[in-house]
Amino acid sequence: MCNMGELPEGKLLLSVRDCVPILGVSRNLIYAACHRGELPTLRIGRRLLIPRRALEKLLSEAKPLNLTQACK
């Protein structure tokens, strides 16, 4: 496992369990996002794996919410 926000070194594919501390959400929420197509996945046997590059791209493209404008 890794600390919050850190991707494990040397892994090309991450398990759902690996993504929990990185994304800071529950395993169930990650599985739901995978099934909705929000996270790209590979299925190898019964394992659901998330490509490291896809997760890096998703995190780099994330835009923070500007909640101050919504309150006006």
Express each pLDDT in 6-50 by its tens digit: 677 788 999 999 999 999 999 999 999 999 999 999 999 999 999
**Is-above-0.85 flag for pTM?**
no
Spatial contact of 7 and 55, defined as CB atoms under 8 Å apart:
yes
User: Confidence class of residue 1 from pLDDT cuts 50, 70 and 90?
Assistant: very low
